[in-house]
Structures are given as C-alpha cells and as structure tokens.
Amino acid sequence: MKKNRFGSRFLIGLCFLFLYLPIFLLIFFSFNKGDSSAVWKGFSLRWYAELFRNRLVLESLATTLLVSLLATAIATVAGTFAAIGIYSLTKKWRDPVLVVNDLPMMNADIVTGVSLLLLFVAFFRGWGAIAAWLNSWQSLIQFPTRLTLGLGTLLIAHVSFNIPYVILNVAPRLRQMDANLVEAAQDLGCTWIQAFFKVILPEIKPGIVSGALIAFTMSVDDFVISYFTAGSATQTLSMTIYSMTKKRVTPVVNAVSTLIFLAVLILLIINNIREARQDKLAAKRASFEPVRVDPRAERFRAWLGTPRGKLARRVAAAALCVVFVSTTVFLTAFTTSRPVVNVCSWGEYIDEDLIDEFEAETGIRVNYQTAESNEALYSLLSNGGADYDVVVPSDYMISQLIEEGRLEELDYSQIPNFEKIDDRFKNLPYDPENKYTVPYTWGTVGIIYNETMVDEEIDSWAALYDSKYAGQVLLINNSRDAFGIALKYLGYSVNTTDAGEITQAYELVRDAYERGVFQGKVMDEVFQTMEGGNAAFATYYAGDYLSMLENNEDLRFVVPKEGSNWFVDAMCVLKDAPNYDNAMKWINFIASTDSNLRNMDYIWYASPNKEALEMYPEWYEEQYGEALDPEIYEIMAAPQEVLDRCEMYVCLPKATRALYNDLWIKLGL
Amino acid sequence: MSKELIRLKDVTMTFDDVTVLKDINIYFNDKEFLTLLGPSGCGKTTMLRIIGGFQTPTTGDVFFDGERINDVPPYRRQVNTVFQKYALFPHLNVYENVAFGLRIPRETTYENGKTEKVKLSRDEIDSRVREMLEVVSLKGFERRSIASLSGGQQQRVAIARALVNRPKVLLLDEPLGALDMRLRKDMQQELKRIQQQMGITFINVTHDQEEALAMSDTVVVMNEGVIQQIGTPEDIYNEPKNAFVADFIGESNIVDGIMRADRVVEIFNRRFACLDGGFEKDEPVDVVIRPEDVDIVSEAEGQLRGTVTSVTFKGVHYDTIVDFYGFKWLIQTTDYCPVGSRIGIRIDPDGFHVMKKSKYSGLYGDYSSYSEEYDEINDPTLLDVEEEGAGDEE
C-alpha cells in the first residue's frame, strides 16, 4: 500500500512537473539579462521595460482588449437572449438547436477562420454595388464603396465564435430554473421585460458571468480565427507574439507571456474565492440559521435605497458608461486614427523608436504589422484582404510581385534619400530599372559553426555533408536554401533551371541525410540550438549570427569559398495603396542615413545606405565608447569580394518550383 | 355574498389536437371558496391558467366582472396565483418576495379616464408586507432566505406574496400537494381562515377529494375536460350525479339496478325502499351505496346475504369485503366478522342513491379487485389521504 501511494504521488508530481515546468521556465527566462532563451546571463527586468516601450505589443494589446471586451459584451447579450429563445422552444426543437450550437465549438478554428474570411470577402465583393446604389439615391450618408478586413470583421468573427460559449453556459441555468418563476412574476404585475430583469436575470446570472468569462478568455486567446479575419491593418496580441517568434522567441515574448499567465492566475484566484464564498453562504442558507449580514453592507444597501443613494447609483452607472464608451472611442481612435501609413515588415526588423520619431515628425500614424515570411506575405496579398501601403519583401518575391503587377511605381522625387543608396544596390535584377524599390537591408547566408566542436578551419559547404559531423548539422528548413546551398557546393548557379543539376543537388542532400549527418530541419529553433551548443553547424543569415554571438562566444560565421546566396530586402508600395504619399514619406524617412545607422545597429543587418554603411564603425564607437570589432563589421557588411562569390535568388519558373517541391517532399525529412 | 365575478362561456382549449377543456360554462361567485377537483389530466389546472391569464382559450370567452378579459395579460388582471411548487424567487429573501408585486408600478385608471403608473411609497409597502406576513404567521421571518424555509413556510410566503397585492381572486394550483399529511391538515384550516379573513374568492385546484370537501363552499368535479358536477360538498357526496363522481368522492359500491317505481329500486332481483323518484318505470339505473350506510346483521335477518372475503383493520372501523352473488362490496363497520363467515346486511332507504345511467356506468364501484386497486395507488401521500378520509367519515 505504502509503496503504491508513493508511486501515485510520484506520478502526480510528474504530471504537474510536465504541466508547469515549461511555464516556470518561461517566467524564469523572462528575467534573463541576455537575449537568449537558452543561456542565463543574470537577473534583469529589461524585457519588461522593453515590453512597455514596444509599441507593436502595446497596440496589439489595445486591439485585443478592445475586441475581446466588445465581443464579450455583444456575445453575452446575444447569447443570453438566444439561450432564452432556445429554452422556450418545444423539446422537439430545443435539442437539435443545442446540438447545432455545440458544433461551432467543436469545429476546428481554422475552418471557422477560413469560412468567415470567405464570407467577408464575398460580402465585400457584393458591397460595392450596394453602396453605389445607396449613395445614388440619397446624399445624407456616403457609404464607402470599398470595404476591407479590419477591426470590424475581427469583432464580428469574435462575436460569432463567442456566442455558443455563452449559450452553453446560460442554457443549463435556465433548465434548472423553476418554469413557473416567470409566470409568478407576471402574475405579480411584471411585463415580460420586467420579469426578465427582476427574475430571470438574477437566476441565470452565474451562467452569464461564467459564459462571459469564458468568451473573454477565448477572445483574448484566439489566434487562428483572428489571423484570417483581422486583415492587414489590425493585429491582435496573439498575432504579434506569433510574428515575434518567427525569428526567435525574444525574451519580450517571455515577458508578455508571463504577464498574461499572471493575469489569468489572478482572475482564477478571484473567481475561486468568489465561488468559495458563495458556497459558504449557500450552505449557511440551507442550514436553517439566519444569515448574518455585515451591518456595514446592510447600512450601505439601505443607503442605496434612499434618494441620495439612488442618485449615487445613477451617477456611478453613468460614470461607468462614460468610462466604457470613452475607452472604446479612445482605443478605436488609437488604432484607427488618420492620416496613416500601413507598413508590413518582418518581426524584430526595425528600431521602433524610428516609428515614434516618424509619427512625431509628420503626424502620420504608422500601422506597423509583421508577416512571417515572403510566402505568408504573398498569400496575404493574393487573397485580397490586405491593404498595406508599404511592404518589405525579399528580392525574388519582389520580382514575382512586379511580374504580377502588384506593385506601384515609386515617385522618387519624393524620396531624395534614394540618392544615398549605394549604387551596388540599385538596378538589381529583380528591379532592373529601379522603378519600384528602395533597398532596406542586405546580407549574406553562410555557415554558422561552433568553434569548440570542430578541429579544422571551415571554409566550404562540404562540412555540412561530412559524415565526420554526423548528427551535428542543422539543415535549413526550406527547399530553396537547402538545395541552393547544395547547388552552390556543386558549382552550379542557385538559379539554375536544369533539372539534372537540381537532381544532383537533391542526391547530395539525400545521401548526407541517409548517412545521418543532419540533426534535423530547423528554422527558428536554430537560435536556441546553436546558442545552447547543441549542434555544430547551421546555415543562416549573417545578421542573425551576430545576435547569436552575443549569447555564445564560440560561434563563428563564414561565407564559404564556393559562394553563397546574398539577398536584398527592399521597400515597395502596393498597387492602389490607399496612402501613397504617406508611403513615400515613410520610405524616405527610413532611407535616411540616421535611420539606416540605427536600424543597422538594432537588427545587425547591413544597410544599403552608402554613408551609413561606411560611417557605422565610427558611429558605433561614438555610441558605445568602444571600437567595433572589424571582423564583426565584415560579417555584417560583407566586403565586395565576398559578394562577388554570392548570387541573388531570382524567381524560378513554375516547372522548376514544382521540381523543388517534389524533391523536397521526396526527401521526406 | 353571491355576486357573480368570473364567468367562462363555451370555453374550449386544445393543445396539438388534444382537447383539454370541452365547452366549459361556469361562473364563480365573489368571496367564495371554490375547488376544482378531478384526477390529473382532467383540465382543472388549464382552467386555472385561463383565469390567471397564462393561457388563452382556443374558443370561448372569459369574463371578469362582466368584462371580457381573453386578451388581458396576467399583469393586468386582478387575480393572483399560488403556484404548485410556489415559484418563490430564490434570490430574494422572504420580505422581498412578498414585497415583489408591490414594488412594480401599477397602471391606474382614474375616473376622468387618465391612466398613470403609480408606485407605492416605501412605508406603504412596508406596512402591507408586515401585515401580510402576520396574516400567514411568518412574523420575524423577513430576512430569511427562501432556501432556509420548510415547505409549509414556503407555502405561506407564496400565499402572502399573492395576497399582498389585494387581488379579487386568489388562484391556488394544488397548493398542498407538496406538504406532508399533518401539515396539509393544518394548512387546510389555515387557508380557510385566511380566505374568510381576506373576504375574497379563492379558486383552489386539487385532486384530493378530502381536501376539496373540507375546505370548499363549492366543489366542481371535472373529468376529461368536462365538468361532471357542481355543488356543495354535501351535495357532491350525497347526491353524486354519475358513477364517476360517486367513485371519485369517497368510497362507493355502485351496482346496476332498475327503478321499479318511485321510491322502489331493484338490485340483485330484490326490491328495496329508497328516497329517489322521478325515473321512468323500469328504467335501468346506477345505485350507489356508501360503505358506511350498510349495517351488518345476522344471516337470517339480512336483506342480502353474502360471504366475507377480506377484513382490514383501519383503527376506527374494519374494511370488510363481502361477496354478494359474485359482486364484491366494501362495508365499513365497527363489527368484526371473520373471513369466510356468512353475514346478512340491511340498508335503510336513505342509504340508497339512485343515478341515471351515464358513460361511466359499469366502470367503477366493484371491489372484486380491491387489493390490487390499493396496490395501484403507489403514491404514498395519496394512499394516506384516502385512508384518512375513509376514517373521517365514520
């Protein structure tokens, strides 16, 4: 018996450990001084400080709260009335309706999200005609003819997935309620509405409260449905966190998550205390003892009944309304005020102080959103919901967008800072006449390796396929880069369309895979794995190497002698951008030498601004009082002879893309 | 006393093709204690709900004080209801439950035709609530929560909550159904007292014949959506209109008979003197003989002779089942006759009650399945009542 008990305790302990260890780890690392999620560098609150300066997080938090509160309020009212309606159906209808109500909750979020998106897009398509017709016979209200996804659609989506939860919580309360209560109230002089407020509402209040709480939690928590329905200019907290983890789990995410966890914990504790109190009270009532009422509470209640108390009650209610409405208005204004420019970039890809400065300087609000990858951006653009002004895609994606006519030519007369862009980064193959783009950053792909885990000089891609390093190599998780590197190693162009060459590259990777060289395919995990010293080799971007270096001094970076890929991310403006002129101002602002210096310093990617690129070591010394390691500078801004070895990706023809895809699947890693 | 207050005229009520009330014509007098009595499903509760305004008759009209009120919602009727399970508001204490109706602003029509919503003052509400709690003997319970009250106390709160609005009619839907037997007895007295004190009409619904007889000025016996008989408790008991009423009210031996002449009835081929008349000569009739109207005598002296088949001791009397020519009678007597003994019986002329044949003839009144009949009544409270009721008659 004793042994048994120990065993069960041990198992319970294990369960809790499994459940809570990740959370504790997250809380622990939110206080990390360093910016790694794998290496502890001492206690610090810097990520919390950063969190509250991070406007992307704050804005999306505001959006989340606004949408969740409004959606909860609307869904609670609608769901409560729906539950009452369902409850008053005959049994023949009630049960099927309740089953129908359950379905959306069991439905996969992704299905809900996609179907709502389809609905909205279909509606928008029809709306143009409706609005034109409405505007044609009256001039009092001018309806906009073009609608886009945004706060409105997000709110509608949240309301629609919240309602079933409210119904689910309210319906059992109604079932428990004595069916004669409403009749009794009517009998005593109430109209139905009065009976509702005086009898039904107090009876089902616990159900409504728990329904609202669940709805609110679901709303705050939701990612998938929001992702499909928020459109381009609106971003919820969960979407922001997701885009932040795109590159790596920054400790800011740890800090946000810790705060969310604490908020939920506090809510839970409050709720439990409330319930315990109610149980106690109920127990007391059920035992025939008279309930002892706090005399202060009694006096307060009596005072509320007096004319002065009633006035106070009304004032309090009015004040609450005012607070709620003004918060709503404020939050709405905060998220949608004009003039604006909508920018979509990558996570952790800008010194955010620049956004504030731009806003202060121009009075234009920057709606700064992030996408996860070029492909994600492309799908956002192609399903039509997005209304960004400025996007920052990479070279090959730019050429594809130009080809498809999705970009607007830039008005370079409004972008005097374009002059400062190094000629090397003008008229590149993706935009040969430079009509559409202003470069944002550039960089190289190379081998990141852990010096302590190799005993030779690494200067060739060969190391990545060497049995000597079996289980120590991280393969980059996208076909273009994985095969591109192999092509380069074999001496071919990364842009080859020769199926034989590509197949050779495939066989090279395949062979290494079969020999057990690769530890796994990674994208974002590369940071943790390399910083933690858990792999010897990875293929990644120079800029990201530099941030890994901060957490693990043993890491080295090299652009192999066979050559590599180099890339440019450039700012472009989408066709029919709603805020074209503001977009020009933004691009000009970002192209300035000062902006480039600060971005370069912040994200460790090289600047295309000639002045900034040259000035950076000097500027660094001024800022930090120490000289910049020239080796680091060289990695950040690869010298021309390195670039000469490298090739830029171009958009591959469809057949080649399909071949890449097939081979990648065949690799089946 | 007897001013007409409510009238139902040709009221028929159907739910999903099921007719619950059929061509009901009835009136209720002011200040009367009236009971709608009948087995479950007889339509008595539906009739109450039509008066209360919770249901609108399919056809026919409802009049209150001469005014048609079919479409007047419950909250505008001068009628209040005590619901079956009381339907007290669990979130309010005793005081607030009683005060509930008073706190609702009432639409009042003045003589000049103007209407206005009038709210009672706090003091008036307070005095009326306290007064009413005193009437139902719940003084000192003001702050108690509903859940802490016993069934009888909840019942009183429900009555107070309804009466505090000073209705002209109080409707009670099986008000005593949920109480235990002793409490039910007390509440019968209590209800009667309250009705007399308030001086208003009570319309009570029950399936308990003993309760109906004990409390009511008038009893309305219903079955299958049709009124079977209206009368004072004594009329209903002594002069049942048909076999259903005879069987439903008290215990009855109902046998087939033939009226040979006025005041002469023939049963089992024997002629007996009775007090009934006005039938055609040789008309087949139902004859009711109450178990307590039968005297057991020696076999030789008896007008009828039979064999005792079962004896049950009931405290005050014995329930004795006697087989007469294959028909089993229930006889309630203080004389003990052992099972198997041969006995004779005598019935005085006033012991016979002769009824015209009806659709219920032949359905009731034979005690050959006596024991099974008791088994069928599996509701213990119901059983209690019937035994008690039978005991009371002696």
Nearest to A178 among B75, B87, B165 (CB): B87
**pLDDT at B326 (0 to 100):** 79
Chain B, 34 to 63: residues with Cβ < 8 Å from chain A are: 52-54
Nearest to A191 among B75, B88, B101 (CB): B75
User: Does this model's pTM top 0.90?
Assistant: no
Find the mean pLDDT for residues A367-383.
81
In chain B, CATH 3.40.50.300 covers: 4-236
CA atoms within 13 A on the CB side of A473: 22
Six token digits for residue A1: 């018996």
CA distance A169 to A173: 7
Q: For an interface test with A, which of B148, B159, B205 has the most A Cβ atoms less than 10 Å from its Cβ?
A: B148
Question: Looking at the complex, does the CB of residue A293 fall below 8 Å from at least one CB of chain B?
Answer: yes
**pLDDT at A646 (0 to 100):** 92
Find the mean pLDDT for residues A622-645.
90
User: Which residue type, as a one-letter code, is found at position B38?
Assistant: G
Nearest to B144 among A187, A203, A290 (CB): A290
The DSSP bridge partners found for residue B9 are B61
Mean pLDDT (chain A, rounded):
86
Residue of B nearest to A287 (CA): B148
A64-95: pLDDT as tens digits: 888 999 999 999 999 999 998 888 888 888 88
In chain B, CATH 2.40.50.140 covers: 239-393
Q: Domain B4-236: give its CATH superfamily.
A: P-loop containing nucleotide triphosphate hydrolases (3.40.50.300)
Question: Looking at the complex, does the CB of residue A53 fall below 8 Å from at least one CB of chain B?
Answer: no
Q: Mention every residue, 6+ apart, whose C-beta is less than 8 A from residue A613.
A: A422, A596, A600, A606, A607, A637
Give the CA angle between residues B226, B232, B235 to the nearest 5°. Answer: 85
The answer to whether residue A654 scores a pLDDT higher than 90 is: no
Number of H-type helices and E-type strands within chain A: 27, 10
Q: Which of A249, A171, A155, A252 is nearest to A204 (CA)?
A: A171
Report the b/e string of A168-188 with b at 16+ CB within 10 A. Answer: bbbbebbeebbebbbbbbbbb
Contact B85 A178 (CB under 8 A): yes
Radius of gyration of chain A (CA): 30
Residue of B nearest to A285 (CA): B148
**pLDDT at A486 (0 to 100):** 93
Alpha-carbon distance B354 to nearest alpha carbon in chain A (angstroms): 44
User: Which residue type, as a one-letter code, is found at position A600?
Assistant: M
Chain B residues in contact with A310 by the CB 8 A cut-off are: none
Residue entry with tokens 């008896």: B302
Residue B201 dihedral angles phi and psi, to the nearest 5°: -80, 130
Question: Looking at the complex, does the CB of residue A190 fall below 8 Å from at least one CB of chain B?
Answer: yes
**pLDDT at A330 (0 to 100):** 65
The reply to whether CATH 3.90.1150.10 applies to domain B239-393 is: no
Q: How far is C-alpha A658 from the chain's CA centre?
A: 30
Find the mean pLDDT for residues A436-459.
92
A221-254: pLDDT as tens digits: 899 999 888 876 788 888 888 877 655 667 788 8
| Strand arrangement, sheet containing B4-15 | B18-29, B4-15, B59-64, B67-68
* CB contact at 8 A, B22 and B16: no
**pLDDT at B334 (0 to 100):** 85
Contact A305 B122 (CB under 8 A): yes
**pLDDT at B374 (0 to 100):** 43
**pLDDT at B391 (0 to 100):** 35
Chain B, 143 to 202: residues with Cβ < 8 Å from chain A are: 143-145, 147-148, 161-162, 165
The H-or-E segment that residue A377 falls in is helix A374-382
Residue of B nearest to A183 (CA): B54
Angle of helix A654-667 relative to helix A479-489, nearest 10 degrees?
90
CA distance A482 to A495: 13
Find the mean pLDDT for residues A509-535.
87
The DSSP bridge partners found for residue B219 are B35, B231
Residue of A nearest to B141 (CA): A290
Least confident of A164-178, A314-328, B296-310: A314-328
Find the mean pLDDT for residues A152-162.
92
Report the SS3 class of residue B173.
strand
CA distance A476 to B206: 83
Nearest to A194 among B84, B87, B104 (CB): B104
Question: Looking at the complex, does the CB of residue B122 fall below 8 Å from at least one CB of chain A?
Answer: yes
Region for residue A11 given its phi and psi (left: phi exceeds 0; alpha: psi -120 to 50; beta: otherwise): alpha
Which DSSP letter does residue A565 get?
Answer: B
Six token digits for residue A336: 């949608």
* CB contact at 8 A, B84 and A180: yes
Q: Along the 394 residues of chain B, how does pLDDT read in single tens digits?
A: 468 889 999 999 998 888 889 899 999 888 889 999 998 888 899 999 999 999 899 999 999 988 899 888 888 888 999 998 889 998 888 999 999 999 888 777 777 777 777 888 888 899 999 999 998 888 888 888 888 888 889 989 999 999 999 899 999 998 887 788 888 888 888 889 999 988 999 999 998 888 899 889 999 999 988 999 999 999 999 888 888 898 888 888 888 889 988 888 988 888 888 888 888 888 899 999 988 888 888 888 888 888 898 888 888 888 888 888 878 888 888 888 888 888 888 888 888 888 888 888 877 767 765 544 443 444 444 433 333 333 333 3
Contact A291 B104 (CB under 8 A): no
**pLDDT at B389 (0 to 100):** 35
CA distance B207 to A66: 59
Find the mean pLDDT for residues A537-548.
90
**pLDDT at A503 (0 to 100):** 93
Chain A residues in contact with B148 by the CB 8 A cut-off are: 285-291
What DSSP string runs through A215-274? HHHHHHH--HHHHHHS-SS---HHHHHHHHHHH---HHHHHHHHHHHHHHHHHHHHHHHH
Nearest to A188 among B101, B145, B147 (CB): B101
Contact B75 A290 (CB under 8 A): no
The answer to whether residue A159 scores a pLDDT higher than 70 is: yes
* CB contact at 8 A, A379 and A400: no
**pLDDT at B390 (0 to 100):** 36
Contact B87 A181 (CB under 8 A): yes
Whether cis (ω within 30° of 0) applies to the bond prior to B39 is: no
CA distance B155 to B175: 7
* CB contact at 8 A, A484 and A395: no
Which DSSP letter does residue B77 get?
Answer: S
Residue of B nearest to A200 (CA): B89
Radius of gyration of chain B (CA): 24
The H-or-E segment that residue A370 falls in is strand A365-371
Q: Which of A252, A262, A263, A347 is nearest to A29 (CA)?
A: A252
CA distance A154 to A136: 29
Q: Mention every residue, 6+ apart, whose C-beta is less than 8 A from residue A294.
A: none
Q: Mention every residue, 6+ apart, whose C-beta is less than 8 A from residue A268.
A: none
> What are the percentages of helix, strand and coil residues in chain A, rounded to 5?
65, 10, 25
Region for residue B345 given its phi and psi (left: phi exceeds 0; alpha: psi -120 to 50; beta: otherwise): beta
Note the helical H segments in chain B: 44-52, 94-103, 122-135, 151-163, 181-198, 209-215, 233-238, 243-248, 370-376, 380-393
CA distance A546 to A636: 8
Q: Mention every residue, 6+ apart, whose C-beta is less than 8 A from residue B212.
A: B35, B37, B204, B206, B219, B233
Residue B169 dihedral angles phi and psi, to the nearest 5°: -135, 135
